[in-house]
Chain A
């Protein structure tokens, strides 16, 4: 079983729709959580960190459920420019290598 699992998609939704991604992680010692966005043939870029209390950045809302060990990302009023692959990332302290990337969920927004 992978340490971080995501639905690979693709999710194909109309512009203006709300879309949600989930990600599960297996190691309860995980401490930090992030969502990255990767455009086609580009490097991943940080979209937002995920905090225990949940956090919002404009149209994007991230939630963390430590008890169930999952992270979610909600995109409201989706735009064509939101089309990308969204990577779930989990990190543990004191081990340089323990930054685990999910395989990503592909999102395609149609006009």
Chain B
């Protein structure tokens, strides 16, 4: 069966510091991968998605970036965090070329101080 991992679970970072969040998927090949952010009390905002290694699409302009160095690894990064980057970051996967459902990882709760 497929599983999705995210780490760390929680993170407190100062403004201006760098960020690296990692997501890995097991039990599937060539998945579509997604990064979402959810601000407190708000809906999901799609940040990036990837259909393959090295292929990243950005949905919103921001100071974040994403990379997919391996088929089942998706990384979210920032060189300098802003206060507004605080939120709940969720990674998700979906089988490629389908309209199947997405499955979410447990998320990383980021607080920027």
Mark A residues whose CB is within 8 Å of B: 31-32, 34, 41-46, 49, 87, 89, 91-94, 96-97, 99, 101-104
Contacts and interface: CB of A to CB of B under 8 A. Distances in A.
Interface stretch (B14-22, B65-73, B76-84, B98-106): B98-106
Interface residues of B, number: 27
Nearest to A8: B43
A97 to B, nearest CB: 5
A1 B43 CA distance: 15
A44 B99 contact: no
28 contacts: A31-B99, A32-B100, A32-B101, A34-B101, A41-B109, A42-B106, A42-B107, A43-B104, A44-B104, A46-B101, A46-B103, A89-B102, A91-B101, A93-B97, A93-B98, A96-B32, A96-B49, A96-B51, A96-B57, A96-B94, A96-B96, A97-B46, A97-B49, A99-B34, A99-B46, A99-B102, A101-B44, A102-B43
Nearest to B58: A97
B104 A91 contact: no
B94 A99 contact: yes
A35 to B, nearest CB: 10
Given A89-B102, A99-B94, 10 more contacts: A43-B105, A44-B44, A46-B103, A49-B101, A94-B97, A99-B34, A99-B46, A101-B44, A102-B43, A104-B43
A103 B42 contact: yes
Contacts of A46: 101, 103
Contacts of B102: 89, 99
A41 B109 CA distance: 9
B88 A45 contact: no
B34 to A, nearest CB: 8
Max chain B C-beta neighbours (<10 A), residue from A45, A94, A96, A103: A96
